[in-house]
Chain A
Amino acid sequence: AQKITQTQPGMFVQEKEAVTLDCTYDTSDQSYGLFWYKQPSSGEMIFLIYQGSYDEQNATEGRYSLNFQKARKSANLVISASQLGDSAMYFCAMREYAGTASKLTFGTGTRLQVTL
């Protein structure tokens, strides 16, 4: 089974609108972290937001918020007031506690296109 599932290969959103990018995860661990990264066409990986499995509040970072539903094992990224510069690939990732140096496991990504 896939550890991270992103079911939307591509999404379109109009400038200034909000958009939700879906992510579901699969783990039997109690301790884990969920991350979203942005990859623009230039290729770098930019960290956006983090949610720990024990965090009761949804994480927010500026225009980004993470809609964390633990029972459903979902960690959707919400981008408010979309901008043209938000057009990029977005990856959801999970880090399970593994003692030391826990790796990130990534989903297949969602390509977001912001239109005028």
Chain B
Amino acid sequence: EPEVTQTPSHQVTQMGQEVILRCVPISNHLYFYWYRQILGQKVEFLVSFYNNEISEKSEIFDDQFSVERPDGSNFTLKIRSTKLEDSAMYFCASSVTGWENEQFFGPGTRLTVL
């Protein structure tokens, strides 16, 4: 069964460093998303992406964040200069359609900023 994959599973970085979180969505999906979940809290939307551009972004997704689909398969989230409060689980998701169907989530990348 096709699935969303994410690498790495766990990333530890120093405050101020850049990180790139990688995702491979399901191959026939056209809509891509990043969410984050701070430990013990609810899942929060960061950004959605369709047709090679951002569809929507949340207040969390400030200038330190960027997304890219560098080729036909990868979808990346870059945090330019990490802060302690960026420590969270980051989930990538993809869906076939823009709103009717479920979003399939990857296993997540746990980011720890020291």
| A binding-site residues for B, Cβ under 8 Å | 31, 33, 35, 37, 43-47, 50, 52, 91, 93, 95-109
Contacts and interface: CB of A to CB of B under 8 A. Distances in A.
B100 interface: yes
A109 B99 contact: no
A97 B56 CA distance: 13
A108 B38 CA distance: 12
A43 B45 contact: no
Contacts of A109: 42
- DSSP majority for the B interface? strand
Contacts of B101: 50
Contacts of B35: 104
Contacts, number: 76
Given A43-B89, A107-B42, A102 B105 contact: no
Given A91-B43, A100-B55, A104-B45, A45 B99 contact: no
A58 to B, nearest CB: 17
Contacts of B89: 43
A101 B50 contact: yes
B107 A106 contact: no
A109 B38 CA distance: 13
Contacts of A44: 105-108
Contact of B45 (A31, A97, A105): A105
Nearest to B103: A104
Q: Choose among A91, A95, A96 the residue with the greatest number of B CB atoms under 10 Å from its CB.
A: A95
Contact of A100 (B45, B50, B91, B107): B50
A91 B37 CA distance: 12
B42 A97 contact: no
A109 B42 CA distance: 7
A108 B100 CA distance: 22
